[in-house]
Structure 1
Amino acid sequence: MVDSKNRFSNRVENYVKYRPSYPEMAVDYLCEEAGLEVSDILADIGSGTGIFTRKLLERSYRVVAIEPNAEMRHAAEAMLSEYSNFTSVNGTAEATTLAEHSVSCIVSAQAFHWFELSKTKEEFNRILKPNGKVALIWNKRLSDTDAFAIEYEQLLKQSAVDYEIVDHRLLGEEQFASFFRDGQYMLRKFANEQHFDRSGFIGRVLSSSYTPPPGSIHHEAFIAKLGAIFEKHQHNGSVIFRYETEVYTGNL
């Protein structure tokens, strides 16, 4: 299995084009729950191509985006260069390179499941100001809402070799309780969805690190199966990915 720092290197173009953004209500809730002020410095850990980073920059916060994958980091730098409140850093969750007690809040969107939890907690405590909040965010794709979602989920389990190993849904109450102070955290959920035509659907699927990439001996057969699922379930040339955007917040 490709290591977590490099497994998205050949997925960046599709990631930028087809990964979902985050509901405005979810971002507003996070900012309110964390008690953020415009003068605050936030660390976005595992910031990837900057999808969530942009949401924070749009609200005028100063954001330090920590991302170890060069291809994803460079994509974020290209897309977010207009923001003077954006800083890009080559670092990891376990070794951010940031100064002690230098950030008011830490966020991690669609990335926390890749981190080594004990080392990450130690590093977050080091860089976070006293009583600063940590927010962990995921767009959780709903896999049983309709026939399309169910059949697509079945295909991933059959054809994506490590899908069930790297699924962030493997994280549960035990891991969150051990990470947050005294096992206390808040969880809020928000509805989110994406509509795709055939090419967008395939691009969205190929943005995931566990799907057979171009050049793989399984790629063409996998694409054919995706096409069949699309044709079976499309309505007016479109299918819908439905998500729950989960926002976990707490102290360390």
Structure 2
Amino acid sequence: MNTLHSTERFSDRVADYVRHRPDYPAAMLDWLHRSQGVTAAWQVADVGAGTGISSKLLLDAGHAVTAVEPNAAMRAAAIAWLGGHPRFRAVDGRADATGLPDASIDLVTVAQAFHWFDPASTWREFARILRPGGLAAVFWNSRRPTGTPFLEGYEALLQRYGTDYASVAERYADDDAMRTWFGAGWRGTARFEHKQSLDFDGLCGRLMSSSYAPKEGHPQHEPMLAALHELFDRCRQDGHVSFDYDTRIIVGTL
């Protein structure tokens, strides 16, 4: 975790992250409420909240949300977007040191961030802040690497130009690993289709929001953008490409 500078590696990508990262399907939160007994009255700690994309989903469902985020630039973006909401607050904290009181949270959520956490210390911290019977829900938008010429071309582009793409991709936990992390507390898992329809500017911004995309000034930056433009021109339909995901959620007690 330390070698990849997990708390700082998005600091220079906040604008692209805010504008171009996908949200999460509302059907996922409907499933969480319907199948796991979660209600809008549950207090949520959204850990690794970033710029607030997942926090917004939870606020829209009626929850009071504490966004826990160690990256100052990303936390500031979340406050700029959501800070006027009466049920939202943001705090400087980490997955293993949230700063929240014991047994003060009904639901801990982690969106697109668990792979940056230390599993053992995170488990202890989440267990500390959750009330008895409270739940943890870990979810991701997992980009599909195959299935269409665009998706396969985009995966090849990341393999070719990404600065440490393989190292980051290998950190994503599979469902079996997450079931092991929850242990006897595992309660359920679900998957949902999700997508973004992107023009070239949106596609470029989506790429540049990724921590492994070489920034301007890097020798691979311009060749990467040229390859991206060629891929877009080859695959676009009505001026857009479909960026397809499987949204995974795993839920349990600790």
**TM over 0.5, shorter chain:** yes
Structure 1: gaps of 5 or more residues: none
Partner of 2:203: 201
Query: What is the number of equivalent residue pairs in this alignment?
Result: 252
Which residue of structure 1 aligns with residue 89 of structure 2? 87
1:58 aligns with 2:60: yes
TM-score by length of 2: 0.95
Question: 1:141–1:244: 8 Å Cα contact kept in structure 2?
Answer: yes
**Helix, strand or coil: the match of 1:200?**
helix
Aligned to 1:236: 238
- Contact map agreement 1:113 1:168 (CA 8 A) in 2: no
Instruction: Please give the secondary structure, in 2, of the residue aligned with 1:223.
Output: helix
* Aligned equivalent of 1:70: 72
Contact 1:9 1:72 in 2 (8 A): yes
Q: What is the percent sequence identity of the aligned residues? A: 39
Preserved contact between residue 177 and residue 185 of structure 1 (Cα < 8 Å): no
| Deviation, structure 1 residue 185 | 3.9
Gaps of 5+ in 2: none
TM-score normalized by the length of structure 1: 0.96
User: Per-residue displacement from partner, 1:226-247 (whole Å, max 9, x unpaired)?
Assistant: 1111111111211110111111
Shift of 1:168: 6.4
The 1-side partners of 2:170 and 2:20 are apart by 19
Q: Which moved more, 1:171-180 or 1:84-93?
A: 171-180
The question of 1:216 aligning with 2:218 is answered yes
| C-alpha displacement of 1:213 | 1.1
Larger mean Cα displacement after TM superposition, 180-189 or 232-241: 180-189
The aligned counterpart of 1:150 is 152
Contact persistence 1:49–1:73 (CA under 8 A): yes
Bigger Cα displacement from structure 2, 175-184 vs 62-71? 175-184
Structure 1 residue 184 displacement after superposition? 3.0
Q: Do the aligned residues in 1 keep the contact of 2:83 with 2:89 (CA within 8 Å)? A: no
Tell me the equivalent position of 2:112. Answer: 110
Summarize the alignment of residues 118-197 of structure 1 with structure 2, pairs less than 5 Å apart. Answer: 118-167=120-169, 170-182=172-184, 184-197=186-199
**RMSD of aligned Cα (Å):** 1.4
The answer on whether the counterparts of 2:103 and 2:132 sit within 8 Å (CA) in structure 1 is: yes
Q: 1:168 to 1:31 in 2, by over 3 A?
A: farther
State the distance in 1 between where 2:57 and 2:97 align. 24
